[in-house]
Structure 1
Amino acid sequence: MSRETQVAQVTRETVETEAGAARITWHRAGTPRLVLAVSHGAGGGVEARDLQALAAVLPGHGVEVALVEQPWRVAGKKVAPAPKTLDAGWRGIWPAVVASGPPVIAGGRSAGARVACRTAAELGAHAVLALSFPLHPPGRPERSRAGELLGAGRPTLVVQGGNDPFGRPDEFPEDGYELVEVPYGDHGFAVPKRAPVTQEQALEAVTAAVVRWAGSLM
């Protein structure tokens, strides 16, 4: 996959959905071959370090990035709604991201990854990117959400922190997707100060994995 030299153009649009008004921040690529539509988790927004890193890097590799803010975040609420409402918000933005032309990867971090997995087949996503997939609540491995991940029905990449309390890489099923571990990373891919990798290196592991995987989809 060749690297483009253009600086990504950033634009924003508001999209009305069944769940309320959502917002898309586009990081445009000069000649996009794929679109990554990616949403945030239940405890944060699109300012998450991994989402911002992907938005900065991927356009230079021909992948347009659409950072999606769910209606509850746009409305200023602090607590995410029920999964069915999250899914409704995601369905509502889908026509806008498909309209840009290239095949669309459905992505998300944490709760957003669950939404992407649950709706991928229904919406006709080209593939699924699951960042920090919450395999189970912390300390409750018996409450597995592996069924959502395995039911995506599309080529799927999971990028997971090695110390994620919502599911360490060795807790995941072995087949049905690709998994890349970010050593020492927690649920937000933060690494301890004493870790043998820096925060910058951890984020580079995330972006490098996604760049490589996206290239295989082109």
Structure 2
Amino acid sequence: MNRVVSVETEAGEARVHWYGAKKAWAVVALGHGAGGGVEARDLQALAATLPGEGVSVALVEQPWRVAGKKVAPAPRTLDVGWHGVWPELAKPGLPVIAGGRSAGARVACRTAQDLGARAVLALSFPLHPPGKPEKSRQDELLKTGVDTLVVQGGNDPFGKPEEFPEGDFGLVEVAYGDHGFKVPKKAGLTEEQVLEVITGGVVKWIRTLR
């Protein structure tokens, strides 16, 4: 990690954890989920991998998390925090690929067009609450208005890959993965191999955006 920048937003103080590329052509900004922070394995794996592709990574810590709260606020407040950090993300003057995991993915989808994001990377997109497929959030995903990639666990209770609607987005499946991309022993995959599936799929997609 190169540096951590504190940013004042209307929702409170946020933090941006920068992982810079030597000759960056883009920035990938990733928000965390409602149940964890930027230490999530998939976010950290992408922060370690993407700078080698000429992409700087900014892991965004939402104000509620910086304040030490355990429960995420309403989606509207999350969007306010994301809007507030955007000038810091855009400061390098490069295209910004907005993304995140779970709740962070929803934020990126909802705000992509307003903020002028180059694309959206949705990790573990919560298509619906567990056991409630009728409460679909597919409109958030389908209305990003930009190139979009979903990386989804094959056994995610918030939406399995086969539950996703047809749409103008790509989808990478992590076989047997749950919402945190953990896999059972029967999957025959190590944690390192699971992370390679995620980072490999994202790298392949990002190369198409240049």
Specify the TM-score bucket, using the shorter chain as the normaliser.
over 0.9
Counterpart of 1:135?
Answer: 127
Distance 2:92 2:177 in 1: 33
Look up the equivalent residue of 2:17 and give its one-letter code. Answer: T
Q: State which of 176, 188, 197 in structure 2 corresponds to 1:196.
A: 188
Q: Deviations over 1:50-70 (max 9, x none)?
A: 000000000011010000000
Q: Deviations over 1:70-92 (max 9, x none)?
A: 00000000000000000000000
Gaps of at least 5 residues in structure 1 are 1-8
Segments of 4+ moved more than 3 angstroms: none
Look up the equivalent residue of 2:76 and give its one-letter code. Answer: K
Q: State which of 36, 48, 52 in structure 2 corresponds to 1:44.
A: 36
Percentage of matched positions with identical amino acids: 69
Look up the equivalent residue of 1:185 and give its one-letter code. Answer: G
Q: Deviations over 1:107-157 (max 9, x none)?
A: 010000000000000000000000000000000000000000001111000
Look up the equivalent residue of 2:141 and give its one-letter code. Answer: L
Output aligned runs, 1:1-218, within 5 Å. Answer: 9-218=1-210
Look up the equivalent residue of 1:84 and give its one-letter code. Answer: R
What's the secondary structure of 2:129's corresponding residue?
coil
What's the secondary structure of 1:217's corresponding residue?
coil
Look up the equivalent residue of 1:60 and give its one-letter code. Answer: G
Q: Deviations over 1:6-34 (max 9, x none)?
A: xxx52110000010000000000000011
Report the CA distance between 1:196 and its aligned residue.
Answer: 1.8
Q: Structure 1-normalised TM-score?
A: 0.95
Q: Structure 2-normalised TM-score?
A: 0.99
Number of positions where the alignment pairs a residue of Structure 1 with one of Structure 2? 210
What's the secondary structure of 1:148's corresponding residue?
helix
Report the CA distance between 1:101 and its aligned residue.
Answer: 1.7
Look up the equivalent residue of 2:127 and give its one-letter code. Answer: L
Report the CA distance between 1:193 and its aligned residue.
Answer: 2.4
RMSD over equivalenced CA pairs, Å: 0.7
Q: Deviations over 1:165-185 (max 9, x none)?
A: 000000001222111101111
Report the CA distance between 1:194 and its aligned residue.
Answer: 2.9
Counterpart of 1:4?
Answer: none
Gaps of at least 5 residues in structure 2 are none
Look up the equivalent residue of 1:73 and give its one-letter code. Answer: R
Distance 2:92 2:77 in 1: 25
